[in-house]
């Protein structure tokens, strides 16, 4: 009985060592990519909004910048912290400053 069990365990291992001599083995090239669980992203740029409180020619313009830090906890779950800064302004038709706003906010992302 022991010989039968030992033989049944060794037969699959012997099958892996066999190769077909009629076909040449293909070369396999595997690129290994290393990833880190941490990511950082920075964004900055101008934006333009049209407000219903002003005429269409008096759009609100501004600059938005922010940074986002994230950590991968699992393949389907990551948490992050986002910090944003925005500055908005609106000018009248004569070019005078009509509206100025500075906002900063932070958020937890999951």
Question: What is the extent of the structural domain holding 96?
Answer: 37-110
Provide the number of structural domains found in the chain. 1
Burial of 87 (0-12, 13-18, 19+ CB in 10 A): middle
Structure tokens at 10: 């060794």
What pLDDT score was predicted for residue 42? 87
Q: Is residue 105 part of a domain?
A: yes
Q: Is residue 90 part of a domain?
A: yes
CATH code at position 68: 2.20.200
Q: Distances from the Cα of 37 to the Cαs of 33, 66, 74, 79, 96, in angstroms?
A: 13, 20, 9, 11, 49
Q: Is residue 77 part of a domain?
A: yes
What pLDDT score was predicted for residue 43? 86
What is the rounded distance in angstroms from the CA atom of residue 44 to the CA atom of residue 89?
Answer: 17
Q: Is residue 27 part of a domain?
A: no
pTM of the model: 0.46
Give 10-residue mean pLDDT values along the chain (110 residues).
59 50 62 76 81 62 87 85 85 75 81
Q: Is residue 19 part of a domain?
A: no
């Amino acid at each position: 009985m022991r010989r039968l069990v030992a033989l049944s365990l060794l037969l699959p291992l012997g099958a892996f060592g066999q190769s077909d001599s009629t076909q040449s083995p293909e070369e396999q090239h595997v690129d290994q990519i290393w990833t880190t669980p941490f990511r950082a992203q920075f964004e900055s740029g101008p934006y333009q909004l049209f407000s219903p409180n002003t005429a269409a020619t008096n759009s609100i313009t501004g600059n938005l910048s922010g940074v986002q830090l994230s950590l991968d906890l699992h393949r389907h779950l990551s948490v992050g912290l986002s910090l944003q800064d925005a500055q908005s302004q609106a000018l009248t038709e004569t070019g005078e400053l009509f509206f100025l706003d500075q906002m900063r906010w932070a958020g937890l992302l999951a």
